[in-house]
């Protein structure tokens, strides 16, 4: 792969190259190396044939769209699969990942909260970035101090809400393996293959929706959902059903600081996966666009990691500062 992507003399670009991978993932592996100018770098190499295998899997997935539709009431499965296919194609082209990473790096250069490694070189199936020496988030989860866990939780939550406004992109892979804590307190972020464009920040309607739910103004919230086509024609949802559906997002904004715990997350997840419960019935009445489902998935993944960290974080202040529409009067939307 390296011969085809960087040329047969690719080793001359490196002062050192470790042939043993330091990390592996579903479609590629990472090698540690030293670039010709002396910089420590990470070299991400896509497995041979990974692209063909993934495309074949996507074709199989598309054939089962009808079956998935019955399992996901209130959701148009076709557009979701199309969105997933588009994101997957982007992940397979490491040049797109490199451009995403450059956008994040530009947005957060000199920032005291986030550290984004610079891109050194890229090709369709290889990307070389600066090596990041920091403590993996998984180690903070298992053995970090209370101060470290709280800081990581707050920064992680802020990163996912703020980056669309600051970088024009949403990082769509909230996995502990993609984050680490620098000695200087910054949150390091890697792996920008899965990103979605939001050039103006997250949708203001989402911010307004969460604000109205937080204020328990269900009359206006229901009107907002209907007016924007989020409720299927002829369907109705009750105040209680909407409140329960949005609870994973509204619990953390009922106070200035919220304690994310595993018990809280398990309870919320239990409600969401109960096929006989109100959450499932509410989902049958809703018609959420694919981009909103993706945002909800990312934000849920983010708060799930906060729960793993057992972190105390100022989620209300984060949304107030970074989520468009959260502080906007309804008549302005």
Encode pLDDT of 87-139 as tens digits: 777 788 999 999 999 999 999 999 999 999 999 999 999 999 999 999 999 99
Q: Return left, alpha or beta for 49; rule: phi > 0 is left, psi -120 to 50 is alpha, else beta.
A: left
d(CA 103, CA 45) in angstroms, rounded, equals: 21
**Predicted TM-score (pTM) of this structure:** 0.87
Over its C-alpha atoms, the chain yields an Rg (Å, rounded) of 21
Do 260 and 154 fall into the same domain? Answer: yes
**Domain harbouring 39, CATH code:** 3.30.200.20
**Is residue 73 very low, low, confident or very high in pLDDT (cuts 50, 70, 90)?**
low
Tell me how long the chain is.
Answer: 333
Encode pLDDT of 224-275 as tens digits: 998 998 888 888 888 888 888 888 899 999 999 999 999 999 988 876 555 5
Domain boundary among 114, 131, 148: 131
Domain boundary among 78, 101, 131: 131
Nearest to 118 by CA among 45, 41, 35: 41
Do 180 and 65 fall into the same domain? Answer: no
| Phi, psi (deg, nearest 5) at residue 148 | -65, -45
Domain boundary among 102, 131, 160: 131
The CA-atom distances, in angstroms, between 278 and each of 98, 132, 242, 250, 325 are 43, 45, 9, 17, 27
Which pLDDT does position 232 carry in this prediction? Answer: 87
Do 42 and 72 fall into the same domain? Answer: no
Neighbours of 192 (CB within 10 A): 29
The CA-atom distances, in angstroms, between 287 and each of 81, 141, 182, 319 are 15, 36, 41, 24
Which pLDDT does position 285 carry in this prediction? Answer: 83
Do 229 and 300 fall into the same domain? Answer: yes
Which pLDDT does position 59 carry in this prediction? Answer: 74
**Is residue 69 very low, low, confident or very high in pLDDT (cuts 50, 70, 90)?**
low
Do 113 and 143 fall into the same domain? Answer: no
**Residue 49 pLDDT greater than 90, yes or no:** no
d(CA 13, CA 215) in angstroms, rounded, equals: 58
Do 258 and 141 fall into the same domain? Answer: yes
Residue numbers of the domain that contains 183: 132-333
Do 264 and 321 fall into the same domain? Answer: yes
Do strands 258-259 and 312-313 pair parallel, antiparallel, or not at all (unpaired)? antiparallel
Share of the chain above pLDDT 90, in %: 67
* Range name among 7-11, 71-75, 143-147 with the lowest pLDDT average: 71-75
Question: Is-contact 132 13, C-beta < 8 A?
Answer: no
Number of independent structural domains in the chain: 3
Using CB atoms within 10 Å of the CB of residue 63, give its burial: 0 to 12 exposed, 13 to 18 middle, 19+ buried: exposed
How is 199-233 classified by DSSP, letter by letter? TT-S-HHHHHHHHHHHTT-HHHHHHHHHHTT-B-T
Do 214 and 115 fall into the same domain? Answer: no
d(CA 308, CA 263) in angstroms, rounded, equals: 10
Do 75 and 151 fall into the same domain? Answer: no
Which pLDDT does position 65 carry in this prediction? Answer: 61
- Per-residue tokens: 196: 């979605």
Average pLDDT, integer, range 11-16: 97
Do 195 and 317 fall into the same domain? Answer: yes
Do 72 and 160 fall into the same domain? Answer: no
Which pLDDT does position 167 carry in this prediction? Answer: 98
Which pLDDT does position 68 carry in this prediction? Answer: 56
**Is residue 217 very low, low, confident or very high in pLDDT (cuts 50, 70, 90)?**
very high
Encode pLDDT of 132-186 as tens digits: 999 999 999 999 999 999 999 999 999 999 999 999 999 999 999 999 999 999 9
Which pLDDT does position 75 carry in this prediction? Answer: 55
d(CA 164, CA 207) in angstroms, rounded, equals: 13
Question: Is-contact 214 269, C-beta < 8 A?
Answer: no
Which pLDDT does position 324 carry in this prediction? Answer: 95
Distance spanning both ends of the chain, measured CA to CA: 50
Nearest to 15 by CA among 37, 30, 31: 37
d(CA 110, CA 58) in angstroms, rounded, equals: 40
Do 290 and 147 fall into the same domain? Answer: yes
**Residue 71 pLDDT greater than 60, yes or no:** no
- Say what the alpha-carbon torsion angle 182, 185, 186, 188 is, to the nearest 10 degrees: 30
Encode pLDDT of 22-42 as tens digits: 998 778 999 999 999 999 999
**Residue 58 pLDDT greater than 80, yes or no:** no
Do strands 40-46 and 23-24 pair parallel, antiparallel, or not at all (unpaired)? unpaired
């Amino acid at each position: 792969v390296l011969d085809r992507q960087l040329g047969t003399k690719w080793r001359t670009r490196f002062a050192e190259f470790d042939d043993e991978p330091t990390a592996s993932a579903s479609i590629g592996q990472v090698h540690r190396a030293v670039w010709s100018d002396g910089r420590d770098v990470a070299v991400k190499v896509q497995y041979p044939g990974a692209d063909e295998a993934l495309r074949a899997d996507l074709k199989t997935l598309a054939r089962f769209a009808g079956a998935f539709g019955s399992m996901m009431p209130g959701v148009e499965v076709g557009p979701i699969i199309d969105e997933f296919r588009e994101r997957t194609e982007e992940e397979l082209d490491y040049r797109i990942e490199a451009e995403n990473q450059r956008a994040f790096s530009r947005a957060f250069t000199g920032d005291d909260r986030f550290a984004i490694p610079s891109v050194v070189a890229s090709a369709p199936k290889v990307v070389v970035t600066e090596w990041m020496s920091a403590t993996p988030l998984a180690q903070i989860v298992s053995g970090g101090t209370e101060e470290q866990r709280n800081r990581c939780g707050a920064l992680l939550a802020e990163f996912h809400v703020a980056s669309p406004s600051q970088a024009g992109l949403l990082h769509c892979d909230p996995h502990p393996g993609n984050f680490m804590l620098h000695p200087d307190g910054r949150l390091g972020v890697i792996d920008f293959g899965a990103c979605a464009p939001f050039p103006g920040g997250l949708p203001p309607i989402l911010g307004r929706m969460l604000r109205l739910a937080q204020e328990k103004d269900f009359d206006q919230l229901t009107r907002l959902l209907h007016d924007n086509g989020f409720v299927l024609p002829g369907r109705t949802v009750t105040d209680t059903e909407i409140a329960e559906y949005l609870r994973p997002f509204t619990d953390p904004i009922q106070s200035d600081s919220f304690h994310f715990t595993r018990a809280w997350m398990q309870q919320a997840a239990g409600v969401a996966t109960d096929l006989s419960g109100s959450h499932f019935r509410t989902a049958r009445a809703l018609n959420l666009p694919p981009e909103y489902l993706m945002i909800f998935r990312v934000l849920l993944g983010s708060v799930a990691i906060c729960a793993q960290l057992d972190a105390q974080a100022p989620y209300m202040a984060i949304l107030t500062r970074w989520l468009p529409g959260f502080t906007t009067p309804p008549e302005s939307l």
